[in-house]
Structure 1
Amino acid sequence: MPELDNQLKKGVLSIIVLKFISNKDRYGYEIIQELDQISRGYYKLKEGTLYPILYRLEDSGWIENYRVVSEDDKKVPRKYYRITEKGKEALNEQLETWRNFNNTTNSIFNKI
């Protein structure tokens, strides 16, 4: 059921990305690589999927970005993202919602 799989992934990607950024400041490609590695390939994000999520998180005031210029002037500056206080509060709320959803759904599955 690829459609269900895709819908479930879409539903949690914002929380996952926000959680990644809450642990340490990250740049986009780093999020893509680490998510792929940690999920053992289950979450293979493309830039066209990740960056709209990052922009929505920024628009919500949950993350902010800054640029880091490499000592090697030939490299393009990297855009890093960091979580804001508002983002930390939102992440805690969303994780609580996720836990409730997950526990309730699993409870139903175990009873039927």
Structure 2
Amino acid sequence: MAAQTWPGDWLRGPLTLAVMRILDDGPTYGYAIATRLEESGFGTIKGGTLYPLLGRLEVAGHVVTRWEQGERGPGRKYFELTPEGRIDLTEKAALWREFARHTAAFIGGTCS
């Protein structure tokens, strides 16, 4: 079965939270984040979308970065959630769940 392709405007809302959720599990690098997003059903997220998002998280103080030398290849830039990022993730994830419940109820015709 082919992977679902979601409309880009649908991904804009939850993508930042999804990336932060991945980083909540521990530091990792961009390709691993993209792979995990794809495996989780978000589809293929290109670097032109992912890396600017990570940059915005860094500017906001929610992510810190560091370079690690590769064993056999080039180094990798690792991204790590800050304590402030964890707080933001917790708060925004709760708001997102409420928004998603409201949206599903409204679209399903059970909310007026």
Separation in 2 of the partners of 1:11 and 1:107? 18
- How far has the Cα of 1:71 moved from its partner? 3.4
Question: What is the correspondence of 1:5-16 to structure 2 with a 5 Å cutoff?
Answer: 5-16=7-18
- How far has the Cα of 1:110 moved from its partner? 4.3
The match for 1:90 among 66, 71, 88 is 88
Name the structure 2 match of 1:43. Answer: 43
For the structure 1 residues 71 and 6, does the alpha-carbon distance in structure 2 shift closer, same or farther, using more than 3 Å as the test? closer
Where structure 2 has 5 or more consecutive residues not aligned to the other structure, the ranges are: 1-5
Residue identity over aligned pairs, in percent, reads 30
Q: Does 1:55 align with 2:51?
A: no
Alignment RMSD (CA, Å): 1.6
* Matched length: 105
Separation in 2 of the partners of 1:14 and 1:61? 14
- How far has the Cα of 1:53 moved from its partner? 0.3
The C-alpha deviation readout for 1:20-62, integer Å capped at 9, x for no partner, is 11112110011111211221xx421111110000000000000
Name the structure 2 match of 1:111. Answer: 110
Look up the equivalent residue of 2:75 and give its one-letter code. Answer: P
Q: TM-score, normalised by structure 1?
A: 0.85
Higher helix share: 1
Name the structure 2 match of 1:22. Answer: 24
Name the structure 2 match of 1:67. Answer: 67
SS at match of 2:12: helix
